[in-house]
Chain A
Amino acid sequence: MTPGLSAGARPPCAGTVREGITASLALVPSVFVYGTVFGGLAVQSGLTMAQVLGMSVLVFAGASQFVAVPMLATGAPAVAIIVTTYVVNMRHYLMAATLAPSFRGFRRAWLALIAHVINDESFAIAVARSRPPDAWIYLGSALAICGAFTGGVVVGVSVGGLVERPERYGLDFAFPAVFLALVAVQLRRRADWLVAVGAAVVAVALALVLPGNWHIVVTGLVVSAVAAWVLPLDDVDPRDARAA
C-alpha cells in the first residue's frame, strides 16, 4: 500500500514537514492573537460561538472574516457579504497558481483538501524558502498556521463574551483599524499609494449613494482593474500576493 498522500510524487518527508512547522513558529503567536481578536470581536458583534468557529473552519481566511462580521451585524444583504468575501479572497488565485506545480503527483482528493488551507502566511514562508516552493514545507507551515488560528479563535470566543458594552472600549474600531494596518504595510511603491488613496476616495463617494455596502466590491474591483490596465508592468513578483 502506498501511503495516502502521494501517488508517484516523492515520498512524504516528515523532516521537511517539521521544517515547515519550525519556519512558521515566528508567526504562530501573532496568528494566534489575530484569531483570538477575531473570535472575541465576532462574539461581541452577536454571532454565536458555533457560528464563529464554523466560519473559521469553513472559510479559514482571516481578513474576509473580519470584513464579514461588521457587515453581518449591520444588516448588509447576504449576497453583498458573500461577493465581498470573494473579492477580498481573490488574491488566493495568485497563490494557488504559484503553489500548484509543486503538488504534481498528489492525489486529487488531497489536493482538494490542501487547497482549503492556502493562506498568506504559509505561502510567504514556502516561497521565501525556495522557488518553486516545496510542497512539504508548505504543508508543515499550513498545519502550524491552521492550528494557531483555530486555537486563537477558540480562546477568543470563550473570552469575548465577557466584555460588556464593547464600544465603550473602542472595540468596534478594531475592524477598520485592522484593515488600515493591513493597507499601510502594503504601500511600497508610488502606484500602491495611488490605488489605495483612489480606492478610499471612490469608496467614500459611493458609500454616500449606494445601499447595502456594495461600495466595497465595486470600488475594489473597478479601481484595481483600472490600475492594472494603465500602470506599467514593473514588478509583479508572486510574493506580493500575500496581503490581507
Chain B
Amino acid sequence: MRSDVWLVIIGMAVATYLTRAPMFLALARRPLPPRVRLWLRLVPLAVLPALAVPLVLVRDGRLALGWTNPALWGAAVVFVLAAWRVNLLASVAIAVAVVALLRTLA
C-alpha cells in the first residue's frame, strides 16, 4: 500500500468536517435557497453513478460492454434488487455472489 494513506485520511477528515461544521455552527434560521438545496440533493445522485458505472464498464481504459463481463450482470442484479426495496446489504451480497459464480464459470 502507498505511503500517503494517513495524509489522505487527514485530508478526507478535514474535507468532510468542512461539509458538516460551517452551516451547523452558523445556526442560521434562514433556509438555503431552493436551487442550492436542489443541487445538494442531486449531487449524490450524480456522484454515485459516476463512481459505479465506470467501475463496471471500463476495464483497463477500454469499454467492456460484452455479456462476458461478470460485473455487468452483477450490476444489473444489485440495481434491480435495490430498486425492488430488497435490503441494501442483501442486494449487495447476492450481486457479489453472482459475480463470483460467473468468474468461476468463466
Contact = CB atoms under 8 A, between A and B. Distances in A.
Interface residues of B, number: 83
Contacts, number: 313
A199 B27 CA distance: 33
Contacts of B6: 51, 54
B5 interface: yes
Interface of A: 30, 33-34, 37, 46-48, 51, 54-55, 58-61, 63-65, 67-68, 70, 72-73, 75, 78, 81-94, 96-101, 103-104, 108, 111-112, 114-116, 118, 167-171, 173-187, 192, 195-200, 202-204, 207-208, 215-217, 219-221, 223-225, 227-229, 231, 233, 236, 238, 240-241, 243-244
- How would you classify the secondary structure of chain B's contact residues: helix, strand, loop or mixed? helix
Interface string B67-80: 00011001100111
Contacts of B9: 51, 54-55, 58-59
A212 B38 CA distance: 29
B51 A179 contact: yes
Contacts of A199: 45-47, 49-50, 53
B44 A244 contact: yes
B41 A175 contact: no
Given A177-B95, A185-B85, A96 B23 contact: yes
Given A54-B9, A111-B24, A171-B96, A215 B63 contact: no
Given A91-B40, A177-B92, A219 B61 contact: no
